[in-house]
Amino acid sequence: MKRQHRWVLLVAASSTVTLASAADLETHMSKSSNWAAQAGDYANHRYSELKQINASNVGRMQVAWTMSTGVLRGHEGSPLVIGDTMYIHTPFPNNVFAVNLKDQSYKWKYEPKQDASVVPVMCCDTVNRGLAYGDGKILLQQADTTLVALDANTGKVMWSAKNGDPKIGETNTNAPHVFKDTVITGISGGEFGVRGRLIAYDLATGKKKWTAWSTGPDKEVLIDPAKTMTWTNGKMAPVGADSSIKSWKGDQWKLGGGTTWGWYAYDPKLNLVYYGTGNPGTWNPSQRPGDNKWSMTIFARDLNTGMAKWAYQMTPHDEWDYDGINEMLLVDLNIKGKQVPAVVHFDRNGFGYTLNRDTGELLVAEKYDPTVNWATKVDMKTGRPVVDKKYSPGTTGPDVNVKDICPAALGTKDQQPASYDRKSGLIMVPTNHVCMTYEPFQVEYTAGQPFVGATLTMYPTPGSHGGMGNFIAWDAAQGKIMWSKPERFSVWSGALTTAGDVVFYGTLEGYIKAVSPKDGKELWKFKTPSGIIGNVFTYEYGGKQYVGVYSGIGGWAGIGMAAGLTESTEGLGAVGGYKDLAKYTTLGGSLFIFGLPDSTGSATTALK
Amino acid sequence: MKRQHRWVLLVAASSTVTLASAADLETHMSKSSNWAAQAGDYANHRYSELKQINASNVGRMQVAWTMSTGVLRGHEGSPLVIGDTMYIHTPFPNNVFAVNLKDQSYKWKYEPKQDASVVPVMCCDTVNRGLAYGDGKILLQQADTTLVALDANTGKVMWSAKNGDPKIGETNTNAPHVFKDTVITGISGGEFGVRGRLIAYDLATGKKKWTAWSTGPDKEVLIDPAKTMTWTNGKMAPVGADSSIKSWKGDQWKLGGGTTWGWYAYDPKLNLVYYGTGNPGTWNPSQRPGDNKWSMTIFARDLNTGMAKWAYQMTPHDEWDYDGINEMLLVDLNIKGKQVPAVVHFDRNGFGYTLNRDTGELLVAEKYDPTVNWATKVDMKTGRPVVDKKYSPGTTGPDVNVKDICPAALGTKDQQPASYDRKSGLIMVPTNHVCMTYEPFQVEYTAGQPFVGATLTMYPTPGSHGGMGNFIAWDAAQGKIMWSKPERFSVWSGALTTAGDVVFYGTLEGYIKAVSPKDGKELWKFKTPSGIIGNVFTYEYGGKQYVGVYSGIGGWAGIGMAAGLTESTEGLGAVGGYKDLAKYTTLGGSLFIFGLPDSTGSATTALK
Ligand SMILES: O=C(O)c1cc(C(=O)O)c2c(n1)C(=O)C(=O)c1cc(C(=O)O)[nH]c1-2
Ligand SMILES: O=C(O)c1cc(C(=O)O)c2c(n1)C(=O)C(=O)c1cc(C(=O)O)[nH]c1-2
């Protein structure tokens, strides 16, 4: 209980000193009946205090109601629930529906007219990771890089802001994040030579507050060479002047990648925003010598100014496409007897990192899949991975096919967010268990064309259980897997932990599953119409707890189905790797809401 | 029990004297665990002997499993179930999936490559009314007029036959029907000046057996002027020579319509096939004087030769688009103390007809919605409707807007099939409750272009309950509504009656409902992801009864949503009439399977 209490405080902290707008979201997040943010809170916990549905009754859970989104292809993210209204979003064309929870009729529909030419420059399906809420507004980040604020009551556009250019491959898939009176959004296009940045807007007006580039001059990266710190020789030290520029050949940083399409977090006490940057431009490492900073980096930035307090690069000079964008979980941990305000991050590169989120100190870096082989370990002094040359396409050079690299390019985990179980203190992590061959080749940049330069194949980790995923419980203080539940396919869906001692996640075949946080034992499952890559969420309405999830296969793992591709190496190797999905599921797009049966045995809406 | 027994016999009759192929389907239909034909039998009953789900436990019914079809737009018809395999179909592009009922994985998928240019010449959405089974084959009638026989075990094409030309507006939406060793199919395109016909193929080889045109010379309509009978002056009489040709001006019969996209029936004892023909070419009646035979007609034809035994035209010289294609229900009735082998037909024109299916004699013709006003009654001597000139666009002439005609062009019932409850002897009928304005105008024929010539608006029947539909129980011997349950929208879904004293149907908002056959009282409902225009079906697997239905809004009623139309008069008036649908539902495409909970309270697949 003490741990829970602390989090409630953290979430609502300093709300009294901020504007009414910020208080609005924080008040809504503090009520467990709502699901007012994609992760339920600022800290990316995806934990709910609701416990009507618990380990002993979850086996009787039924479908309460369902809703088609009217769009096929990959459905990531989750709806939001504020009071008696649910806000649903779709993949491109990014429709938004406000649903009256009383009778599931529509309050309003927002259906943007977007130029479909954005679709072919989206690397990994036409996904959208969801809406944000704040100050009576629903925030939608459209694929065409337009950020829109809608009146939550009417669906009318209150302001909009354009933050990129699809003609040069800039698109969006990330959920916007509201932190107090600021909306934060990112950019996609690491496979098109896009230069990544995080952008902050004023929630009330849509006025741009700051842009923090991932690569380039200090004043554009919002780095203070003397004050922005990084892990150096076992301690924190200033990054120094031109830390990014110096780590690139010539002006390659201009096409440097480091895009920002993940899940950000915010600590209101420290007033810091946390997020990760993606892969450096081109997948052919020989073409871009250097550490390629600040791609593959965790940044902690001041919410008001965007200035970087600290940065940590996980995969210097990436050779595997191990984007660093995965979610940042803010948890307070007891590490070797000391209470630490930590940020935990499960990187694509297969290491689970724990850092002090205040100072940026590196505390833990351990493999969260023991079969990870591209690096033997992270050197805790330098903070750099110790790369195994056998699995280094940059060492072997272009046009050599490097075999059996684990994990594959889509990492031990991709966008699918983990959940922090505040009760057990463990983090529940949906993972991939996939390896690859990787053959880089020379590529020239052409604006709006793929800037990749590598041919990949993917397959289940050899010599393992045969499946392509695991759902694991992680102790972030120790860097240790507590249990691991094998899955036939990668778990591409976000997890939910609850006070009812039940953990939920979805599978690519389309099952939503409830398991015990103690040992991963399956307590319940249900087959939804299509594969699940959405995140499980929960809310309470009319005194009843509901659990919900989008069903709709797609994303990078499901790109073969979503885009109708059939060649093994298409989708950068995912098509061949996940070809068996077609035996189990089909494209779809719907929302499923589950609940416990009432006394008559029915979970469905009451008869009139 | 006596009544049931008789039907089992009728269904299986003479199977001993036919080929193995015919016996195959009849054996499968006789097992109530299967759903081996679209209506469950030859007689269009849509009745199941299963009764595990009954009036007292249906309230606890839950979703057992679900499956996306991967296609949006209108989902008509139902899957088939043969043993441990379910066969699923989709709207255009008409994919077929064989599903292993054990774990809902796919045995095979058939995904035809059809030219998408067929889509714009489909009048009323890209629907497909389902598959047929027979002789180890799955029969698919593609939209592009290709009839395909697939190996039920492998999905391999065994034969295919082309029966029309989309370039002149010929398409298909009907389910093929297997009657013994013959496959029967039809044609759509009444709105494109297509000349209707029914076509019979040999099930084993795909060789054409006969074509029976709806209009034209006797030898093409397969009429024997001396032997083909029709109701004349209170008794049956031969139709006489050139009965069709004479009823048209010049060679207008060549663009004469009379298409055949409905639900056919077969009586194995009489060896007769029953079906109805659609509207005559152009909706501007002044342009085509005469009775326009044999549009709007019930035909009884010999299965082997196609020769018409009798014909009955319900709406001579149609002025309202009251296609006569609705399903033919073969029931044995006691009419005024006499046992009669009857065919019952709920026509678009609002009259429920009962005829002697052996002789063709007209026995009953009564309104099954009391607000029908275009005709005061059917003259039982002539068999012709007594038209109210006030509602006759042919009388007022072109460019006059005739108001408040009831029913609207989509009839008191459209393709949504009724179900015969063998236990109560009543027929459960999903109906429309919609009126229209109708303004005809002169139109020239251009091949492949709409040949309509009328502007319509549609709206709920004025002065009634405000809704656009009713679900009714009909006594076909008396021609009497026994009860009527109002619905917000037309009930565009096919009904299912069961030995468990429960009747099922779906609504355009997306509810599947269970009601009592006694009084229409609602026993259970569940909101599926999209509107329902499919037909409810049932089967048994592993000792458990399941009830299922497709969810996917569309068809004529849902054409606004399905085709993205917004102008009120688009979709021939349906867009405006059904515009409120958008408040309640969204495009979708999935299959829902329901069952009772097991002892643990769960209806979902067992945990591994
Ligand atoms: O570099 C980029 O800008 C970028 C963007 C995205 C995206 O926006 O979805 C993905 C990736 N990269 C990527 O590397 C990746 O693995 C990935 C998976 C997914 C997904 O939604 O399943 N998106 C993306
Ligand atoms: O005249 C024709 O050939 C034709 C075809 C179809 C069809 O194939 O679906 C319909 C109609 N007419 C029609 O009049 C009609 O009301 C209708 C409704 C529907 C439907 O599936 O909802 N189809 C059709």
Name the nearest CA neighbour of A419 among A410, A428, A411. Answer: A428
Pocket test for ligand 2, best of B75, B92, B123 (most atoms within 8 A of CB): B123
* The pLDDT of residue B598: 82
Scan residues 589-608 of A and list those with Cβ closer than 8 Å to B: 589-591, 597, 600-605, 607-608
Closest protein CA for atom 10 of ligand 2: B124
Asked if B607 and A525 count as a contact pair (C-beta separation under 8 A), the reply is yes
- CA distance to A315, A443, A554, B269, B470, per residue, from A435 (Å): 18, 24, 20, 64, 58
> Residue B23's pLDDT band (boundaries 50, 70, 90)?
confident
Contact residues on chain B for A65, CB-CB shorter than 8 A: 526-527
User: Tokens standing for B125?
Assistant: 């959405």
Scan residues 294-353 of B and list those with Cβ closer than 8 Å to A: none
Could you tell me where in chain B the CATH 2.140.10.10 domains are found?
39-88+214-595
Q: How far is B143 from chain A (nearest CA, A)?
A: 21
Scan residues 175-204 of B and list those with Cβ closer than 8 Å to A: none
- What is the Cα–Cα distance from A562 to A587, expressed in whole angstroms? 7
* The pLDDT of residue A604: 55
pLDDT at A603 over 80: no
* The pLDDT of residue A344: 98
pLDDT at B37 over 80: yes
CB neighbour class for A27 (10 Å; exposed up to 12, middle 13-18, buried from 19): middle
Dihedral of CA A579/A585/A591/A594: which sign?
A: negative
* The pLDDT of residue A20: 59
- What is the Cα–Cα distance from A411 to A491, expressed in whole angstroms? 12
pLDDT at B475 over 90: yes
- What is the Cα–Cα distance from A172 to A185, expressed in whole angstroms? 9
Asked if B140 and B150 count as a contact pair (C-beta separation under 8 A), the reply is yes
CB neighbour class for A575 (10 Å; exposed up to 12, middle 13-18, buried from 19): buried
Contact residues on chain B for A527, CB-CB shorter than 8 A: 65-67, 104, 604-605
User: Tokens standing for B1?
Assistant: 């029990």
Q: Ligand 2: residues whose CB is within 6 Å?
A: B 76, 123-125, 127, 173, 188-191, 259, 261, 278-279, 321, 323, 410, 414-415, 555-556
For chain A, give the number of residues. Answer: 608
* The pLDDT of residue B1: 35
* The pLDDT of residue B589: 98
> Residue B557's pLDDT band (boundaries 50, 70, 90)?
very high
The percentage of residues in chain B with a pLDDT greater than 70, rounded to a whole number, is 95
User: Tokens standing for B90?
Assistant: 């989709």
Average pLDDT of the segment spanning A168-173: 98
- Indicate yes or no: CB of B59 within 8 angstroms of CB of A602: yes
Closest protein CA for atom 21 of ligand 2: B555
Contact residues on chain A for B604, CB-CB shorter than 8 A: 524-527
> Residue A598's pLDDT band (boundaries 50, 70, 90)?
confident
- Does residue A128 have its Cβ closer than 6 Å to ligand 1? no
* The pLDDT of residue A376: 98
* The pLDDT of residue B20: 59
Fold entry, domain A39-88+214-595: Methanol Dehydrogenase; Chain A (2.140.10)
- Does residue A26 have its Cβ closer than 6 Å to ligand 1? no
A321 is catalytic: yes
Q: What's the A34 CA to ligand 1 centre distance in angstroms?
A: 29
* The pLDDT of residue A199: 98
Mean pLDDT of chain A: 95
Instruction: Render pLDDT for A354-397 as a digit per residue (tens, 0 to 9).
Output: 999 999 999 999 999 999 999 999 999 999 999 999 999 999 99
Name the nearest CA neighbour of A120 among A415, A449, A403. Answer: A449
Q: How far is B28 from chain A (nearest CA, A)?
A: 27
Instruction: Render pLDDT for A303-356 as a digit per residue (tens, 0 to 9).
Output: 999 999 999 999 999 999 999 999 999 999 999 999 999 999 999 999 999 999
- What is the Cα–Cα distance from A328 to A314, expressed in whole angstroms? 13
Q: Does A527 touch chain B (CB under 8 A)?
A: yes
- What is the Cα–Cα distance from A85 to A68, expressed in whole angstroms? 17
Contact residues on chain B for A591, CB-CB shorter than 8 A: 529
The percentage of residues in chain A with a pLDDT greater than 70, rounded to a whole number, is 95
pLDDT at B19 over 70: no
Name the nearest CA neighbour of B461 among B386, B590, B370, B384. Answer: B370
Average pLDDT of the segment spanning A284-309: 98
> Residue A601's pLDDT band (boundaries 50, 70, 90)?
low
Q: How far is A329 from chain B (nearest CA, A)?
A: 32
φ and ψ at residue B502, rounded to 5 degrees: -130, 140
Predicted structure pTM score: 0.94
- CA distance to A499, B189, B196, B336, per residue, from B164 (Å): 62, 10, 10, 45
Edge-to-edge strands, sheet with B80-82: B80-82, B85-89, B96-100, B106-110
Average pLDDT of the segment spanning A414-426: 98
- What is the Cα–Cα distance from B347 to B367, expressed in whole angstroms? 10
Q: What is the DSSP letter of B583?
A: G
ipTM of the complex: 0.92
Scan residues 109-138 of A and list those with Cβ closer than 8 Å to B: 109
Q: What's the B261 CA to ligand 2 centre distance in angstroms?
A: 7
Q: How far is B326 from chain A (nearest CA, A)?
A: 29
* β-pair partners for A230: A237
Torsion of CA B242, B245, B249, B254, to 10 degrees: -170
- What is the Cα–Cα distance from A37 to A131, expressed in whole angstroms? 8
Q: Which helix (H) or strand (E) holds B160?
A: strand B157-162
Contact residues on chain A for B66, CB-CB shorter than 8 A: 527-529
- Give the SS3 label for residue B503: strand
Dihedral of CA B82/B83/B89/B95: which sign?
A: negative
The percentage of residues in chain A with a pLDDT greater than 90, rounded to a whole number, is 94
Could you tell me where in chain A the CATH 2.40.128.630 domains are found?
1-30+89-213
Edge-to-edge strands, sheet with B419-420: B419-420, B427-432, B469-475, B480-487
- Give the SS3 label for residue B170: coil
Contact residues on chain B for A607, CB-CB shorter than 8 A: 522, 524-525
User: Tokens standing for A241?
Assistant: 């002047």
For chain B, give the number of residues. Answer: 608
Asked if B262 and B174 count as a contact pair (C-beta separation under 8 A), the reply is yes
- What is the Cα–Cα distance from A420 to B472, expressed in whole angstroms? 54
CB pairs < 8 Å spanning A and B: 130
pLDDT at B472 over 50: yes
pLDDT at B21 over 80: no
Instruction: Render pLDDT for B283-318 as a digit per residue (tens, 0 to 9).
Output: 999 999 999 999 999 999 999 999 999 999 999 999
Residues 6+ apart with CB under 8 A from B333: B339, B340, B342, B344, B354, B476, B477
Q: What's the B123 CA to ligand 2 centre distance in angstroms?
A: 6
pLDDT at B15 over 80: no
* Ranges assigned E (strand) in A239-392: 265-267, 272-276, 297-302, 308-313, 329-335, 338-346, 351-356, 362-367, 375-378, 385-387
Residues 6+ apart with CB under 8 A from A220: A211, A213
Q: What's the B173 CA to ligand 2 centre distance in angstroms?
A: 8
Instruction: Render pLDDT for A243-282 as a digit per residue (tens, 0 to 9).
Output: 999 999 999 999 999 999 999 999 999 999 999 999 999 9
Interface test with chain B among A586, A587, A591, A600, by most B beta carbons within 10 Å = A586
* The pLDDT of residue B455: 96
Instruction: Render pLDDT for B195-204 as a digit per residue (tens, 0 to 9).
Output: 999 999 999 9
Residues 6+ apart with CB under 8 A from B50: B32, B33, B498, B499, B500, B538, B539, B540, B545
Instruction: Render pLDDT for A69-93 as a digit per residue (tens, 0 to 9).
Output: 999 999 999 999 999 999 999 999 9
Q: Does B507 touch chain A (CB under 8 A)?
A: no
Residues 6+ apart with CB under 8 A from B179: B42, B264, B266, B268, B273, B303
Fold entry, domain A1-30+89-213: Lipocalin (2.40.128)
Q: Does A522 touch chain B (CB under 8 A)?
A: yes
Instruction: Render pLDDT for B531-552 as a digit per residue (tens, 0 to 9).
Output: 999 999 999 999 999 999 999 9
Torsion of CA B388, B389, B395, B401, to 10 degrees: -100
Asked if A284 and A292 count as a contact pair (C-beta separation under 8 A), the reply is no
Instruction: Render pLDDT for A446-470 as a digit per residue (tens, 0 to 9).
Output: 999 999 999 999 999 999 999 999 9
User: Tokens standing for A451?
Assistant: 């800037």
pLDDT at A12 over 80: no
Asked if A494 and A420 count as a contact pair (C-beta separation under 8 A), the reply is no
User: Tokens standing for A466?
Assistant: 């045969």
Buried b (16+ CB within 10 A) or exposed e, B147-158: bbbbebeebeeb
- Give the SS3 label for residue B6: helix
pLDDT at B27 over 90: yes
pLDDT at A9 over 60: no
User: Tokens standing for B525?
Assistant: 């409902």
Q: Which helix (H) or strand (E) holds A65?
A: strand A62-68
Percent composition of chain B: helix, strand, coil (DSSP 3-state, to 5): 15, 35, 50
* The pLDDT of residue B79: 98
Closest protein CA for atom 20 of ligand 2: B555
- What is the Cα–Cα distance from A86 to A540, expressed in whole angstroms? 11
Closest protein CA for atom 16 of ligand 2: B410
Count H helices and E strands in chain A, helices first: 6, 40
CA atoms within 13 A on the CB side of A237: 11
